[in-house]
Amino acid sequence: MPISEELLKHELQHAAKLDGKHRGELAELAFMRRAAALGFAVAKPWGDCDRYDVIVRLGKVFWRVQIKSVWAKRPTRTHYRIKTTGSRNTSYSAEEIDFLVTYIFSEDAWYVFPVALVENRKVFCISPGSTRSRLNQYREAWNLMRPTEPEIITVQAIADNAIARAAGLAP
């Protein structure tokens, strides 16, 4: 459900004037709008101490999502460079996030990456439209956030998992 060309042009002109922090916040808002339009419940945690930006829920399944964005390609490159690390230049792990979602402003394109793909990586190079890019399968891959079977999560299961983690018996 891409936005109209006119609206995209207006948003890009506005985003071009923003610094990286404000552009990142704009990308987070765009993500929340898009995820909600796709039927996900979206929550923004208070503060910014956690390594995820938003939480999405579908049914009883919750995901921690880190959002990254990129404005443009460098003139000497044919791809977009997506930083897959946090402010301290450390990679994300499955202990911290479930998905890293990237928004490319100038393409109005979303990429949904499972954390296993970004763990221990510092950067991704994305070439939208390239037939050789192995990352194209993740473009608009919102279905990765949809559970294939209904998962029942009970308070008891959550408590058992927390106790096992505290005792060092679970990852």
Q: Tokens 């008891």 belong to which residue?
A: 156
Say what the pLDDT of residue 64 is: 94
What is the domain partition of the chain in residue ranges? 5-166
Using CA atoms, how far apart are residues 94 and 47, in angstroms rounded to an integer? 21
Q: Is the pLDDT of residue 17 over 80?
A: no
Q: Is the pLDDT of residue 11 over 90?
A: no
Q: What is the pLDDT of residues 66-103, one digit of tens each?
A: 999 888 777 777 788 888 877 777 888 899 999 999 99
Q: Which residues of 63-87 are buried (b: 16+ CB within 10 A; e: fewer)?
A: bbbbbbbbbebeeeeeebebebeee
- Say what percent of the chain tops pLDDT 70: 78
**42: part of which helix (H) or strand (E)?**
strand 41-43
Topology of domain 5-166 in CATH is Trna Endonuclease; Chain: A, domain 1 (3.40.1350)
In Å, how far from its chain's centre is CA 122?
A: 15
Number of C-beta neighbours around residue 30 at 10 A: 19
- Max mean pLDDT range (60-74, 81-95, 137-151, 155-169): 60-74
